[in-house]
Amino acid sequence: MSPSQPTYQVTDPATGEVLKTFPFSTDAEIEAAVAGADTAFDAWRQVPIEERAAIVQRVSDLFGERAQELARLSQQEMGKAFDEGKEESEFSQAIFGYYATEGPKLAADRPIPTSSDTGGTAMVEYRPVGAVLGIMPWNFPTYQIARFAAPNLVLGNTIILKHAESVPQTALAVEQIMKDAGVPEGAYVNVFATHEQIETIIADKRVQGVSLTGSERAGAVVASLAGKYLKKCVLELGGSDPMVVLDSQDVPALAQTAWDFRVYNNGQVCNSNKRMIVMDDVYDAFVAELTEKAKAIDASAHAPMSSRRAAESINEQVQEAVSKGATLHAGGVLGEGPSAHYSPAVLTGVTPEMAAFHEELFGPVAVVYKVSSEDEAVQLANATRFGLGGSVFSADVDKAKRIARLLDSGMTNVNTPAGEAAELPFGGTKRSGFGRELGPLGFDEFCNKRLYYVAD
């Protein structure tokens, strides 16, 4: 076991109390998991895709039936508000349901027209590749699994799942759902792996790829290992998404939309609107509305962040910005330890000399920038090493659409902070990672798109 890695444990972020601990997987258990996934693949890939889809549909149904149970676990493990946890489980249900319905069509052979010179018959076949490793984060403990596991199980791949160390009960609950739904033994297996064991899994010739959602640092390590061992990888990393406000006919309503998205899951969302870039004629009213919303929050009743360290980190970023001249309009109060409470904040005056300008603020802090032209707004929106998502708001839809097309991001949205549904692809560019999850594109990542050609 790595001495630098904490054990898998349940720590109540509201109190800091360690409620349960779970031992790391032994090397023998890791070997058994890889061997089991490899053996299961040989049989699972032979099951007709309609039957695999039917099992995945049962997984979907169970996520719906157990939504409240899963919500209670995420509330205990990482501080998620109960209603948000229930909503997350229902979204997970929708994702499994989407691939159960659409997967057989997405996996259908696709003919390729051939020229008279080429002749013959050609098509692309969609075939599974084998066992794949998923390394999942704590912030959406069921949704992250769903978008990785659902398409791969329908396609015929098998899953080795390594979840975050702070959500072990959720990891086990999802594994139980798979078993209860009829996913064969070995086709989905949870492991409480150490960092060293992750490399062992990626290096194993029986494992064909790895998907990670997490930090830039973790993504760089996994990408390096994937390159070293010549494995396909998908990375969904951090984000510092811009929300560009060009104008508004209803500033209070728009501020409410911005605020609700920014503080959802306590701001611990990769594609949250972390940088609000607002035209000068709307700016003052917009900031005033956000400030009132922050002041109205009862900090003692607000849900905690995922951990004390998470709360301390966001507080350090805000305080460093304030020390260099930024203005904290409301909130931004770190609760007494060992709890993970941090009151949602509104921050302006952030400049390139501050770490908050460049770093991802993974917490409930609404940072607002003032701009005076469309060109300035676009330049600021793209002045980041991240490229996950972004949005543009305007009463003039054509103008918003034009500006949205100028954002350097994997996802761009008009008059909504984010388009989110099982059928809509999710992923970024630049240092936000590469590859896509969800929708048709999510089905293709760990897929052998094989050419099948028959000569005349």
**178 Cα distance to chain centroid:** 21
Q: How far apart are CA 347 and CA 339, in angstroms?
A: 23
Q: What is the pLDDT of residue 111?
A: 97
Q: Given this model, what pLDDT does residue 83 score?
A: 97
Residue by residue, pLDDT tens for the chain (456 residues) are 334 457 899 999 999 999 999 999 999 999 999 999 999 999 999 999 999 999 999 999 999 999 999 999 999 999 999 999 999 999 999 999 999 999 999 999 999 999 999 999 999 999 999 999 999 999 999 999 999 999 999 999 999 999 999 999 999 999 999 999 999 999 999 999 999 999 999 999 999 999 999 999 999 999 999 999 999 999 999 999 999 999 999 999 999 999 999 999 999 999 999 999 999 999 999 999 999 999 999 877 889 999 999 999 999 999 999 999 999 999 999 999 999 999 999 999 999 999 999 999 999 999 999 999 999 999 999 999 999 999 999 999 999 999 999 999 999 999 999 999 999 999 999 999 999 999 999 999 999 999 999 999
Which two structure tokens, joined as six digits, stand for 309?
């360290």
Q: Which amino acid is it at 405?
A: R
Q: Which residues lie below 8 Å from residue 189, measured CB to CB, with a gap of 6+?
A: 33, 36, 37, 159, 160, 161, 175
Helices (H) and strands (E) in the chain, counts: 15, 20
> Which residue in the list 233, 270, 360, 445 is annotated as catalytic?
270
DSSP string, 286-307: HHHHHHHHHHTS-TTTSPP-S-
Instruction: List all residues 6 or more positions away from 379 whose beta carbon is below 8 Å from its beta carbon.
Output: none
Model pLDDT, residue 307:
96
C-alpha separations of 394 from 249, 287, 373, 391 in Å: 9, 17, 13, 10
Rounded Cα gap, residues 87 and 24, in angstroms: 30
Of the candidates 451, 447, 452, the residue with the CA atom closest to the CA atom of residue 49: 447
- State the DSSP code for 46: T
pLDDT of residue 103: 98
Q: What is the pLDDT of residue 300?
A: 76
Q: What is the residue type of 137?
A: P
Pairing of strands 447-454, 121-128: antiparallel
Known catalytic membership, residue 447:
no
**Is 233 a catalytic site residue?**
no
CA distance 275 to 238: 13
Among residues 338, 342, 388, 385, which one has the least CA distance to residue 363?
Answer: 342
pLDDT at 299: 79
H or E stretch covering 84:
helix 82-106
Contact 162, 193 (CB under 8 A): yes
Looking at residue 5, its pLDDT comes to 56
3-state per-residue secondary structure call for 409-453 = CCCCEECCCCCCCCCCCECCEECCEECCECHHHHHHCCEEEEEEE
* 342-366 per-residue burial string, b: 16 or more CB within 10 A, e: under 16: bbbbbbbbbeeebebbebbbbbbbb
Name every residue whose Cβ is closer than 8 Å to that of residue 141 and which is 6 or more positions away in sequence: 73, 74, 77, 78, 88, 163, 164, 167, 170, 171
Residue 293 C-beta-side C-alpha neighbours within 13 Å: 24
Residues 160 and 187: beta-carbon distance below 8 Å = no
